[in-house]
Protein backbone atom coordinates (compact mmCIF):
# COMPACT_ATOMS: atom_id res chain seq x y z
CA UNK A 1 0.00 0.00 0.00
CA UNK A 2 1.56 3.37 -1.01
CA UNK A 3 2.35 5.83 1.73
CA UNK A 4 0.97 9.38 1.60
CA UNK A 5 3.46 12.20 1.18
CA UNK A 6 3.58 14.52 4.17
CA UNK A 7 2.67 18.06 3.21
CA UNK A 8 4.85 20.48 5.13
CA UNK A 9 4.88 23.56 2.90
CA UNK A 10 2.25 26.26 2.68
CA UNK A 11 1.31 28.63 -0.15
CA UNK A 12 -0.73 31.71 0.73
CA UNK A 13 -2.49 33.93 -1.78
CA UNK A 14 -4.71 36.99 -1.59
CA UNK A 15 -7.67 37.33 -3.92
CA UNK A 16 -11.01 39.04 -4.33
CA UNK A 17 -14.24 37.69 -2.88
CA UNK A 18 -15.56 37.09 -6.42
CA UNK A 19 -12.46 35.12 -7.44
CA UNK A 20 -12.66 33.00 -4.30
CA UNK A 21 -16.34 32.28 -4.93
CA UNK A 22 -15.59 31.23 -8.52
CA UNK A 23 -12.77 28.95 -7.34
CA UNK A 24 -15.08 27.39 -4.74
CA UNK A 25 -17.74 26.69 -7.38
CA UNK A 26 -15.21 25.17 -9.78
CA UNK A 27 -13.63 23.08 -7.03
CA UNK A 28 -17.03 21.81 -5.87
CA UNK A 29 -17.97 20.86 -9.45
CA UNK A 30 -14.82 18.73 -9.55
CA UNK A 31 -15.37 17.16 -6.12
CA UNK A 32 -12.41 18.98 -4.58
CA UNK A 33 -11.80 21.65 -2.02
CA UNK A 34 -10.23 24.94 -3.13
CA UNK A 35 -6.73 23.92 -2.01
CA UNK A 36 -6.85 20.66 -3.97
CA UNK A 37 -8.29 22.42 -7.01
CA UNK A 38 -5.65 25.16 -6.98
CA UNK A 39 -2.79 22.73 -6.39
CA UNK A 40 -3.90 20.44 -9.23
CA UNK A 41 -4.36 23.36 -11.62
CA UNK A 42 -1.09 24.95 -10.54
CA UNK A 43 0.89 21.73 -10.95
CA UNK A 44 -0.57 21.20 -14.42
CA UNK A 45 0.37 24.75 -15.40
CA UNK A 46 3.85 24.31 -13.93
CA UNK A 47 4.40 21.05 -15.83
CA UNK A 48 3.35 22.71 -19.10
CA UNK A 49 5.56 25.76 -18.50
CA UNK A 50 8.57 23.60 -17.65
CA UNK A 51 8.01 21.18 -20.54
CA UNK A 52 8.08 24.09 -22.99
CA UNK A 53 11.63 24.75 -21.87
CA UNK A 54 12.91 21.18 -21.54
CA UNK A 55 11.22 19.06 -24.20
CA UNK A 56 10.42 19.52 -27.84
CA UNK A 57 9.29 16.88 -30.28
CA UNK A 58 10.17 16.72 -33.97
CA UNK A 59 9.24 14.25 -36.68
CA UNK A 60 12.08 12.28 -38.29
CA UNK A 61 12.62 14.74 -41.15
CA UNK A 62 12.77 17.79 -38.91
CA UNK A 63 14.97 15.94 -36.40
CA UNK A 64 17.52 15.20 -39.12
CA UNK A 65 17.42 18.84 -40.29
CA UNK A 66 17.90 20.00 -36.69
CA UNK A 67 20.90 17.69 -36.21
CA UNK A 68 22.36 18.83 -39.52
CA UNK A 69 22.06 22.47 -38.44
CA UNK A 70 23.78 21.69 -35.13
CA UNK A 71 26.61 19.88 -36.91
CA UNK A 72 27.28 22.67 -39.42
CA UNK A 73 30.66 24.37 -39.06
CA UNK A 74 30.67 27.77 -37.40
CA UNK A 75 30.56 30.68 -39.85
CA UNK A 76 31.82 34.18 -39.22
CA UNK A 77 29.00 36.70 -38.91
CA UNK A 78 30.60 40.16 -39.13
CA UNK A 79 27.34 42.11 -38.84
CA UNK A 80 26.37 40.17 -35.71
CA UNK A 81 29.83 40.71 -34.20
CA UNK A 82 29.52 44.46 -34.92
CA UNK A 83 26.03 44.59 -33.41
CA UNK A 84 27.16 42.84 -30.23
CA UNK A 85 30.20 45.10 -29.85
CA UNK A 86 28.14 48.33 -29.87
CA UNK A 87 26.23 49.69 -26.86
CA UNK A 88 22.56 48.72 -26.85
CA UNK A 89 19.60 51.03 -26.34
CA UNK A 90 19.47 50.09 -22.63
CA UNK A 91 23.21 50.59 -22.02
Query: pLDDT digit string (tens) for 11-25?
Result: 999 999 999 999 999
Residue 90 DSSP code: T
Q: Give the global pTM.
A: 0.55
Max CA separation in the chain (angstroms): 64
Q: Is 2 helix (H, G, I), strand (E, B) or coil?
A: coil
Q: Tell me: the pLDDT tens digits for 48-76?
A: 888 877 777 899 999 999 999 999 999 99
Residue-level pLDDT at 14? 96
Amino acid sequence: MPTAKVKTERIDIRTTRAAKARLRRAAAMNGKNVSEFLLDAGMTAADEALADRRIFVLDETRWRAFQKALDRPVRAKPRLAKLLSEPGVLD
